Amino acid sequence: MGRRKKEPPSVHRESIAAAASNLFMEKGIAVTSMDDIAKAAGYSKATLYVYFENKEEIVGILVLGSMKKLYDCIDSALAAQEGTKARYDLICKGLVQYQETFPFYFEMALGKINIDFENRDYLPEEKETYLVGEKINEKLKDFLIEGMEKGDLRGDLEMMPAIFHFWGMLSGIIRLAANKEAYIAKTMDLSKEQFLEYGFSMLYRSIAVS
């Protein structure tokens, strides 16, 4: 334990957050206690409170991490290609890979995010999470504007509603495919991949110049 005490606080926070993440995925956030997290991380409960005030702060750290992963996913997709449809395809592919690799974080990124920072009753991670979300919106905005300027996307798109519908529909298609894979195969005779391809194509046609 002597060596661990010499490690910087960030190392301890990351270790605790990782243990909490595993518990949240296994048991759910609501039923996981600080006692559970302390035991899983190998700390006493008293030591746990040295690094985190409460469970909500740990959740805030994980939500922020999930949003950063999501930003990296979209940023990488948009940087990889120049054509509008090719970039769109890479966004879709990247989001699917993100959901399959980090399903728990994918759900976290879709959850409610605090937008009220006029009072002081919020965690620093909440504001940073909000700002990362705004950066994601800016990336999608740039994608839509560039597509419109190239004549690939419809010129009558209302930007912010289009961004939110775009994100909501993509994430909804991905969640549906993940949660209803057996049903889709049985009733539609489609694989998960075929179902996603159909949905992504249908969405792109709704914003593309016909």
In a domain, 26, yes or no: yes
Are 33 and 90 contained in the same domain?
no
Contact 113, 122 (CB under 8 A): no
User: What is the residue whose two structure tokens read 């702060």?
Assistant: 57
Whether residue 192 is predicted with pLDDT greater than 90 in this model: the reply is: yes
User: What is the residue whose two structure tokens read 């959740």?
Assistant: 59
Q: How confident is the model at residue 125 (pLDDT cuts 50, 70, 90)?
A: confident
What total number of domains does the chain contain?
2
The CATH number given to whatever domain includes residue 36 is: 1.10.10.60
CA distances from 127 to 48, 119, 121, 123, 136 (A): 23, 12, 11, 7, 14
Are 102 and 3 contained in the same domain?
no
| b (16+ CB within 10 A) / e for 31-46 | ebebebbbebbebeee
Contact 105, 180 (CB under 8 A): no
Token pair belonging to 101? 């690799």
Token pair belonging to 68? 């950063």
Are 76 and 32 contained in the same domain?
no
The CATH number given to whatever domain includes residue 180 is: 1.10.357
Token pair belonging to 203? 């969405």
Are 80 and 16 contained in the same domain?
no
* Cα 134 to chain centroid, rounded: 13
Stated as kind and residue range, the H or E segment containing 182 is: helix 181-188
pTM over 0.85: no
The region of weakest confidence among 77-81, 119-123, 184-188, 200-204 is 119-123
| b (16+ CB within 10 A) / e for 191-208 | ebeebbeebbeebbeebe
Structure confidence by residue, pLDDT tens digits, 68-106: 988 988 898 888 778 999 999 999 998 998 899 888 888
CA distances from 203 to 37, 134, 168, 170, 171 (A): 42, 22, 11, 8, 12
